Structure 1
Amino acid sequence: INSKMTRNRGTELPEDFWIPIPLDTNNITSLSPFLIPQDHLGGSGTFYAMAAFMLFIFVFGTGINALTIACTIKYKKLRSHLNYILVNLAIANLLVSMVGSSTACFSFAARYFILGSLACKIEGFTATLGGMVSLWSLAVIAFERWLVICKPLGNFIFKPDHALACCAFTWVFALIASTPPLFGWSRYIPEGLQCSCGPDWYTTNNKYNNESYVMFLFGFCFAVPFTSIIFCYAQLLITLKMAAKAQADSASTQKAEKEVTRMVIIMVMGFLVCWVPYASFALWIVNNRGTTFDLRLATIPSCFSKASTVYNPVIYVIFNKQFRSCILSMLGMSGGEEETSTTQSMTEVSKVGPA
């Protein structure tokens, strides 16, 4: 993939301007993603469809996550250690939907990144920061469940203070991952159809050491949390199977075991849908320099990651009956649901788990 610095009427364009595909033209300056619609990358229908999708993500992602935060503030019964982590996840999702999805929606509607290079850096940084907090929050949730259910530390009690410390941990690690492009290790530029911004994973400019940054993100921000999630949930399922076997005559234990197994599968699948396309595509580009590809395909992983602002709260919050009951009550649609949840079912099973 060729990346070219260009000149427009003798004036050098900002170095943020890169043409990420080979073009046989002497006037590629006219294709800047900050200056004109990128119709050479796709039809108008494609851009408008993406704008509609981003509008959906913005509206529903902002709404669901704002409700999650508001409900936790209003209802004291939701202020448990696990729910603190869920609220941390909601804050990260809210950041991505309000800044990342709204900016992308506006840009797709204009068919180019109309807001300019500074806004591109802000959107790229904000979306990456929120995405990393979200990713590490999922790992912390898995870690918390492992501690509470499997009891590897014996009678250790996971308290709200521990949850708050874990939330702070997610933001520290997310800042470590998202700030380097602001200081010269990689950078934030338009990606895919050039209407949203993210880390530079497809150009070959050695000045920014893009390859090493992509490898850093893959290892530090994908491989480590993914391995942690798989380990914790695998141990959790083993513990639940043992508990269910020990209480084969207990209908409630058997039911809890089935509910939690289903929930764990959904959680892991949600993580994979969110992050595997983005991580694998970026890694493929880094290891296959010079291979041409359709930039519309590069937009898909970014959309999956932004869509996590909707399906993460659906998985972790809406499927939690206690949260769902409070949200319905707050909206004036309370149906008198039983305020139990999969989390409570797991707690019940843990009573017969390893000491």
Structure 2
Amino acid sequence: MRSNRPVEFPDDFWIPIPLDTDNVTSLSPYLVPQDHLGSPGIFYSLSAFMFFLFVTGTGINTLTIACTAQYKKLRSHLNYILVNLAVANLLVSSVGSFTCFYCFAFKYMVLGPLGCKIEGFTATVGGMVSLWSLAVIAFERWLVICKPLGNFVFRPNHAVGCCALTWVFALAAAVPPLVGWSRYIPEGMQCSCGPDWYTVNNKFNNESYVMFLFGFCFAIPFSTIVFCYSQLLFTLKSAAKAQAESASTQKAEREVTRMVVVMVLGFLVCWMPYASFALWVVNNRGQPFDLRLATIPSCLSKASTVYNPVIYILLNKQFCSCLKKMLGMSSSDDDESSAASSATEVSKVGPA
């Protein structure tokens, strides 16, 4: 019976190989198809899935950005943050998903170590911006609705500053593997790349980097989201009693709140598997696991480039109305006026 053991290549990659294989470089994910990890059908299916994410994610996020640029009414502080999310999604779909589509078609990281670093870096940057953008949205909803700072007004320049901060945080997470703190290596089926959380390597300090990612890039934004939305729910419940006569205001707030709550659920679907799997590997060194399972978190994170914009376009009347008009699917100005009127009511609910 053939068993597996991990073999680490300090500067390039890490793969599981059979014990009776002498020439380990013959299984390099940069040189040969990784047929030992799955059937051709699995690779081609994942390639088709990544192609769908590339086409759909690139298209829908490009339309979102173009729609915001075309219609001034969409340039509100909340929509600025949503566009920031769209830009991050576009980066992941156009580079990360396309690279994975191409490599899954060949069944190995055909673009080599440099392509691996580029894909891993862009996917990490885009993913972290997306993650922190969801935290910023929650923070904005808390400031606007719960009014913890009294009469403070969250303006577009504040939104732009918060968006810039998400990129600073993302670069703080994505740059270290390029300069020696961890590294980008093939993961899962060896056709996509990410930070090295598989191996124990004193040279790259992988474990400390994984803990940094979990604490700074998952626990903090997740705690922010939980705190802000728990406060938001209490405030909205009180406002429902105090302003029962203002049906339009409550309806508008419910619509926006429902949108961001659903996006938080998307956040959990996207990042909880990644965080959980990485922590399990770090805390269970030496325990065997199927590398194919590591492909699932990567696919879920890249799929967010499609379901996040679908969520905020379908649940945002302004975006939906303007997008339909831009695509020539709607000629009714009444719908736009209704959406704009509803949007003006948003964020007026506050403590009595």
Taking structure 2 as the reference length, the TM-score comes to 0.92
How far apart are the structure 2 equivalents of 1:346 and 1:238?
Answer: 22
Match of 1:334 in 2: 330
What is the percentage of aligned positions where both structures have the same residue?
A: 76
How far apart are the structure 2 equivalents of 1:260 and 1:82?
Answer: 10
Matching residue's letter, 1:348: E
Match of 2:115 in 1: 119
Match of 2:138 in 1: 142
Match of 1:24 in 2: 20
How far apart are the structure 2 equivalents of 1:273 and 1:178?
Answer: 21
1:159: how far off? Answer: 1.0
Flag the 1:19–1:128 CA change in 2: closer, same or farther, 3 A.
same
Match of 1:187 in 2: 183
Unaligned runs of 5+ in 2: none
How far apart are the structure 2 equivalents of 1:343 and 1:269?
Answer: 27
Matching residue's letter, 2:7: K
How far apart are the structure 2 equivalents of 1:140 and 1:347?
Answer: 21
User: Do the aligned partners of 1:3 and 1:205 also contact (CA within 8 Å) in 2?
Assistant: no
Say which is worse superposed, 89-98 or 254-263, in terms of deviation. Answer: 254-263
Summarize the alignment of residues 299-318 of structure 1 with structure 2, pairs less than 5 Å apart.
299-318=295-314
User: Do the aligned partners of 2:141 and 2:232 also contact (CA within 8 Å) in 1?
Assistant: yes
Unaligned runs of 5+ in 1: 7-13
Matching residue's letter, 2:193: C
Matching residue's letter, 2:213: L
Partner SS for 1:113? coil
How far apart are the structure 2 equivalents of 1:343 and 1:276?
Answer: 36
How far apart are the structure 1 equivalents of 2:98 and 2:90?
Answer: 11
Match of 2:128 in 1: 132
Flag the 1:64–1:56 CA change in 2: closer, same or farther, 3 A.
same
Matching residue's letter, 2:40: S
Matching residue's letter, 2:53: I
Matching residue's letter, 1:98: S
Partner SS for 1:4? strand
1:169 is aligned, of 154, 165, 172, to 165
Matching residue's letter, 1:338: D
Matching residue's letter, 2:171: L
How far apart are the structure 1 equivalents of 2:117 and 2:344?
Answer: 44
Matching residue's letter, 1:222: F
Match of 2:226 in 1: 230
RMSD (Å) for aligned C-alpha atoms: 2.2
Partner SS for 1:65? helix
Flag the 1:341–1:82 CA change in 2: closer, same or farther, 3 A.
farther
1:26: how far off? Answer: 1.4
1:297 is aligned, of 293, 299, 304, to 293
Flag the 1:291–1:325 CA change in 2: closer, same or farther, 3 A.
same
User: Do the aligned partners of 1:2 and 1:204 also contact (CA within 8 Å) in 2?
Assistant: no
Flag the 1:277–1:196 CA change in 2: closer, same or farther, 3 A.
same
User: Do the aligned partners of 2:184 and 2:193 also contact (CA within 8 Å) in 1?
Assistant: yes
Flag the 1:352–1:71 CA change in 2: closer, same or farther, 3 A.
closer
**Alignment coverage as a number of residue pairs:** 348
User: Do the aligned partners of 1:243 and 1:349 also contact (CA within 8 Å) in 2?
Assistant: no
User: Do the aligned partners of 1:89 and 1:134 also contact (CA within 8 Å) in 2?
Assistant: yes
1:317: how far off? Answer: 2.9
1:213: how far off? Answer: 0.3
1:158 is aligned, of 135, 154, 158, to 154
Q: Does 1:4 align with 2:1?
A: no
